[in-house]
Amino acid sequence: MPQYTFDWCVAASIQMAHNLIDDTGGGTWADRAQQGDLWEKARARSSNSFNGANPLGWAEVLTDVGMGPYAVVSIADYGDALQTAARAITETGRPVGLVMWSGRHAWVMSGFESLGDPGQFTEFSVTGIRVLDPLYPHGSGQWGPSPAPNSLLTPEQLATQFVVREPRRWSSDLPAGYLLVLPQAGA
């Protein structure tokens, strides 16, 4: 699912999340006009000095269109962030949004591999992360190439682009850390 403009990574990620979650047979979300509408909705729910869509708007739109609830969380430790994301996928069956490039880009975590099942054990190790980058195949000159859709990355590979958000990128009360757009149990 490509993003149709350089700015629409959040909207494309919402479409990808829908396509992973929807089991009603309602059809794939891939339309350019719909992506533009989703971006406008996310942008309207984002307070952002860059006038774009931020993770708070992303989480609100996922929730508003029936895929939620979702919340934005910041986790200081990389390993803890991966475990939190894996637990959320296990508990909810829904994908996790990854805030990439210090807060500049959106990816979807569609699954993972681990030593130990997060549904059964408090201690487990994430060994692989399945990702979808809406910029594929373009990537970034600064951050590196986009992985192919549904690639399984090692934690070390993901860490080259999934880094701590710079607090100055957009205002929020969240501390600096690895940002996740996290599905919440109970939906």
Q: Which CATH number covers residue 177? A: 3.90.70
> Percent of the chain scored above 90 by pLDDT?
74
Q: What's the domain range around 143?
A: 9-183
The model's confidence at residue 26, banded by pLDDT at 50, 70 and 90, is confident
pTM: 0.92
What letter does residue 76 receive in the DSSP assignment? Answer: S
Residue type for position 17: A
2 belongs to a structural domain: no
The pLDDT value recorded for residue 52 is: 79
pLDDT exceeds cutoff 90 at 94: yes
77 belongs to a structural domain: yes
pLDDT exceeds cutoff 70 at 121: yes
- Beta-bridged to residue 130, according to DSSP, are 111, 152
28 belongs to a structural domain: yes
Terminal-to-terminal C-alpha distance of the chain: 25
Angle between helices 32-44 and 55-64 (to 10 degrees): 110
Count: domains in the chain: 1
